[in-house]
């Protein structure tokens, strides 16, 4: 995640930080995007790239990577304007 933030020149605009257990180990590596509170699982580096490009930058939910039981917000996401 941090590599993707750097690659896209989002350092200082987006904060990616390591966290302890997020209680979703059965899905593999997980992450949550705030302020929206959207929960994703990311099984590969390609998944992380897709989440950063589509959600963080593009303001679009990556439905195939949502963690079951965590519905995304009903409000539209705002694309990032770095």
In order of start, what are the domains of the chain with their CATH numbers?
2-65 (3.40.30.10)
Per-residue pLDDT for 23 more than 60? yes
pLDDT for 53-69, tens place per residue? 999 999 999 999 999 99
Give this prediction's pTM.
Answer: 0.86
Burial class (CB in 10 A: 0-12, 13-18, 19+), 67: middle
Q: How confident is the model at residue 49 (pLDDT cuts 50, 70, 90)?
A: very high
């Amino acid at each position: 995640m941090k590599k993707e933030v750097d690659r896209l020149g989002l350092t200082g605009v987006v904060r990616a930080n390591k966290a302890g257990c997020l209680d979703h180990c059965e899905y593999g590596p997980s992450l949550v995007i705030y302020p929206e509170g959207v929960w994703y699982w990311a099984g590969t580096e390609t998944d992380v790239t897709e989440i950063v490009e589509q959600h963080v930058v593009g303001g679009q939910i990556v439905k195939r990577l949502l963690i079951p039981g965590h519905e995304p917000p009903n409000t539209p996401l705002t694309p990032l304007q770095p």
